[in-house]
Amino acid sequence: MKTRELGRTGQHVSALGLGCMSMASDYAYGPSDEREAVATLHRALELDVTLWDTADIYGFGANETLLRQVLVPNRDRVFLATKFGFVADGAGGSAVDVRPERIAAACDASLKRLCIDTIDLYYAHRIDPAVPVEDMVGAMAALVQAGKVRFLGLSEASAASLRRAAATHPIAALQSEYSMFTRDVEADILPACQELGISLVPFSPLGRGLLTAVGPQLADKDLRRSMPRFGAEVGDANAPLVAGLRQLAEARGISTAQLALAWLLAQDAHIIPIPGTKRPKYLEENAAAADVALTADDLNQLRALLAAHPVVGARYGEGALKLVNR
């Protein structure tokens, strides 16, 4: 597996990471299977996919607890990222809470669940306009000083919030949704990352399955049921784009997923996608994308295809959209 530098930290991580959200949470992408999830983590080690991403809200802590089975005996081989900022709302959902007074407790709880002494990359999961970015990042920086965290990151932050955060403490990474289906970061967020020396870590780089031309029958608890892009009429509207991607991938002898990931890697040297999966076979397919070198002609064809078929449908419902790029 090739590596890429994380921001300007001097730390290199696998060019493609592993999103672990679905491993211990039925609400993410259908029923979870602990045995298969653990097998996926072991296969990640074998493939040198060493950047693992989780969060305290995934499974309300269960995801971090699952990861420790493989993380602890292999601590020196894994670069572990986790996030804080969402809390249970008492009604089965979640709310944002990034107040400085709770950040240290959130970090300690994650460390306990993960059974480790230090988190490699600690993200604020969302920006709350009611909490000054400087105050939040200042509290996060105290965790670095205490040796509990190595590097800091933000998730779904605007360019303005990035600049305010970076002026308070070095920011290594910004995690945001970015794929051929979601490209809003290209306007000003990606340029801000480039300006500030911050790695962009795209989550859902395969459009939550849409870019792989997979049309799953969604489980009752699958979070995609709440997303406008997964409506039947929207799927029909986006079908020509998916079909065009499949055709280009087949011409290159690769999968659509590999084409989509290779396209992301080609956008900037400090982009580090974290495709999520809980199955070894998909991990293997995704990891192979790091070795796909797209030509100028490939990129031109993809640019023309994307221009010809604008994506239809919002990535989140109205409420969730209010929490992104703030």
Name, in order, each residue with C-beta under 8 angstroms of 127's C-beta and a sequence gap of 6 or more.
Answer: 98, 133, 136, 154, 156, 157, 158, 161, 326
Query: Which amino acid, residue 95?
Result: A
Element (H, E) at 200: strand 199-203
Q: Is 197 left (phi over 0), alpha (psi -120 to 50) or beta?
A: left
Cα separation, 125 vs 106, in Å, equals: 12
CA angle 98-102-103, nearest 5°?
A: 70
Which of 199, 325, 212 minimizes the C-alpha distance to 272?
A: 199
CB 175 within 8 A of CB 123: yes
The SS3 assignment for 119 reads strand
Cα separation, 257 vs 56, in Å, equals: 28
58 is catalytic: yes
Cα separation, 200 vs 178, in Å, equals: 9
Element (H, E) at 152: strand 149-155
Of residues 58, 122, 123, 178, which has the active-site annotation? 58
Cα separation, 135 vs 112, in Å, equals: 25
Which of 77, 34, 42, 21 minimizes the C-alpha distance to 280?
A: 42
In the chain, the largest separation of any two C-alpha atoms, in whole Å, equals 54
CB 124 within 8 A of CB 109: no
CB 23 within 8 A of CB 17: no
Catalytic residues: 58
